[in-house]
Structure 1
Amino acid sequence: MKILNFFFVLFLCHTVMPAVEPCAQKNLPVVLGGAECLQHPILTNLTSAERLFLLMQFAHLREEPECVAAAQNLLQSKQVGLNDRDFYGQTPLHWAAGLDSVEMVKMLLQQSGVDMKAQDRFGNTPIHMAVKNRRAYEILNLFREKATTRTEQLVIEELIFIVKVDALLHNVAKR
């Protein structure tokens, strides 16, 4: 599987935008999911996993609900594994949490078998990725709902508290 890093995905998004816009204008069912879009020369060499990561980037940049639906279709068709990893060991859940994509995180957490504790090469879990972003509170609440043990719930609640305090301190510092 070819590996994409974050910056290459950003490059692809800007490069692929011209290919996606006509598809959206033609009202194809799903951005990047319509047959015409997937046949575009830029996209034909991507693996399904790379398409999934690209869809996540679109969901973040364009906040397109169609991207979440397309990602869900890729997962349900078993073309992409829910816990597939990129070069850095990050799963789709890492990417979604790291990109502040609340809807994508919600969809991924609803899937059976999602690994909330998956660690990348640097020891970061999807929860670590979520804490670093502006929508951390919303995303951490989704993780808390999915937590299976009381200990996991308490740890996530503690992180939510820290995020709230951090936001409060930032607001006070701005005044």
Structure 2
Amino acid sequence: MRAGLAAIAVLALCVTPVAAQGKTKPGAVPQSVAALEMCETFAAGDVLAVEAAIEKGWDAYDDGGESPYVRSYSGSKDLPGIGYATMFALIESYPNLTFGYCRVDVSDVTGNADGQVQAIQNLDRYEGESIQNGDGIFASLAGTDDKNRLLLTHLAQNTFVIQLSIITPKAETAD
């Protein structure tokens, strides 16, 4: 009898870590959220955005700028479950603010991307409204704590788009 109880106890100890691992293992970040996070990095004006994008598997490039006040970037990556994405980012510097813009386009959705707009809407850092109709799924969002973050995303006519603008006021300098 004791041998049977000991065997059950040993078996329970062996199984418990596996069960616990399944419960604590974080889920994968949806591809739309990962693409948005990359856009946030660029649109925020992060000087290491190209390196961060390359590290995340993007083919990313600094396209230079047409003036000292403008920088532009481009990139591309296959987003599993959505399709081949192209990205364009632009940073414009003004006397009192910086305007950052990033757009990700998947012009030929290859997977079932229906949940991708919803995954972005579910983020706590954005709030807004959405419309779902016969034309597609559309969301217009703003930053929850930072109203200078403006986000549009949609899935319509076999196209998935993320369009992010970040307006960052510059610190005022003393005269």
Do these two structures clear the TM 0.5 threshold for a shared fold by scoring above it? no
Higher Cα radius of gyration = 2
Q: Which has the higher strand share?
A: 2
TM-score by length of 1: 0.26
Higher relative contact order, chain-length normalized (CA < 8 Å, sep 6+)? 2
